[in-house]
Structure 1
Amino acid sequence: MGWAARFLTAVSFLAAGVLFAPDALLGGEGRSGSGVRVAARLAHILSFATAWGAGLWVTFIGGIVMFKYLPRHQFGSLQGKMFPAYFMLMSVCSAISVAAFAYLHPWKTSSTIECYQLGFLIAALGCNLSNLLVFTPMTIEMMMKRHKLEKDLGIGSEVGSSKNEEVAKTSSALAAMNRKFGMIHGLSSLANIMAFGSLAMHSWYLASSLHL
């Protein structure tokens, strides 16, 4: 299914929602808030849910499965293409969530818990932007350099395991490269986990606010 078809499908479902539940989506008489506020709630929920789902899949499922079943260099090259798109999605969704939540809960009139929640969302946005703009480009650049060195040493095509540490014992260049890559990749992973953790904290707030 192409992008146009996917977009059309999403718009069709939104139109169906407006048709069958206009008060819920557009805000009607007897419901709290104007249509703009309802639209802001919808934008916040959809953006948060997208970021939460993407973070859960990439961090705890997709990456592990790919690492287990793909040749290591192929896995790294795929991550190098996927991560910029992933952090772009996470940053956009986080920015929309921050803007929508800040609109719905102005700082001066917000409760303490609402101010904390805005802080969590801003933290998630900051961590995702740091990965998008700083850590991911550095990690990819270092990874490509390490791939080239590993190919020269005849390793990198193994699946699920690595000969890197064994070869690094006799190759000072590879050992130095591993240290640099490990530091940068560690910072990137930490920022990703912190962003996911901030979204997790916000999920508790949303669950407590739902009336099912």
Structure 2
Amino acid sequence: MGDGSILFSLAPYHVLSYGTLLGTQVFHTFINSIASFKVLERPQFAILQRAVFPAYFGIQAAVPAVLALTYPGSKSSIHGLGVPSSFAGVLHESNRWGVLLPLGTAFAAGLFNLVYLLPETNKITALRRQQEEKDGKASYDKPPHSKEMTALNKQFGQIHGISSLVNLITIIATVVYGFNLSSRLK
């Protein structure tokens, strides 16, 4: 690193972006959310999640695109041929399964959570709060609940479950890409 050339290559930015993505996913999913749920009252937990999820899903959608932009290609010892850097390298035939598929999956899943599932969840949550006022009872209180609240709780459970599954798919895709990335280390 004496000549500073590494600063002008894609590799360190790619590795730092990957670490940021995986670290954010693991920390939020397996540590932050669980600890927050255990120590916060349900309304405060919901407020925290509403504040965190746009940034979290934004990271899940944006960083795979950054990884594609910063993909460090490789040169073959034969006539300078190899895999190009950036998007061209991600799209290279040799990278379809180990690079394009996991990065594309992570990007699409993060974007789906951000632009569809999060707004749907927030919409259902707002309807549940309105119904709580009508019923005089919290959505998470023990049953019985009104017919309307029972339906809203079911909708919320379904959309939340789908979002959790999509989040898990994003994490798995990120880990799969990490195995591909680590296979390039010598």
Q: Which category of TM-score, normalised to the shorter sequence, fits these structures? A: 0.7 to 0.9
Is residue 140 of structure 1 aligned with residue 140 of structure 2?
no
Normalised by the size of structure 2, how large is the TM-score?
0.81
The offset of 1:177, in angstroms, is: 0.4
Is residue 43 of structure 1 aligned with residue 13 of structure 2?
yes
CA deviations over 1:140-197 (Å, ceiling 9, x no partner): 12112213333543336xxxxx52xx22x34211110011111211221111111111
Q: When you count helix as a share of all residues, which structure comes out higher? A: 1
User: Partners in 2 of 1:49 and 1:106 — Cα distance?
Assistant: 18
- Quote the sequence identity (%): 30
Normalised by the size of structure 1, how large is the TM-score?
0.72
User: Partners in 2 of 1:115 and 1:90 — Cα distance?
Assistant: 20
Contact kept in structure 1, 2:106 and 2:170, CA below 8 Å: yes
Is residue 126 of structure 1 aligned with residue 96 of structure 2?
no
Letter in 1 for 2:6: L
Contact kept in structure 1, 2:120 and 2:159, CA below 8 Å: yes
Residue 189 of structure 1: which of 146, 157, 164 is its match? 164
Which is worse superposed, 82-91 or 122-131? 82-91
Q: Secondary structure at the match of 1:60?
A: helix
User: Partners in 2 of 1:133 and 1:44 — Cα distance?
Assistant: 25
- Which consecutive unaligned segments of at least 5 residues does structure 1 have? 1-19, 27-34, 157-161
User: Partners in 1 of 2:177 and 2:162 — Cα distance?
Assistant: 23
User: Partners in 2 of 1:70 and 1:154 — Cα distance?
Assistant: 19
Aligned to 1:16: none
Aligned length: 170
Residue 38 of structure 2: which of 68, 71, 76 is its match? 68
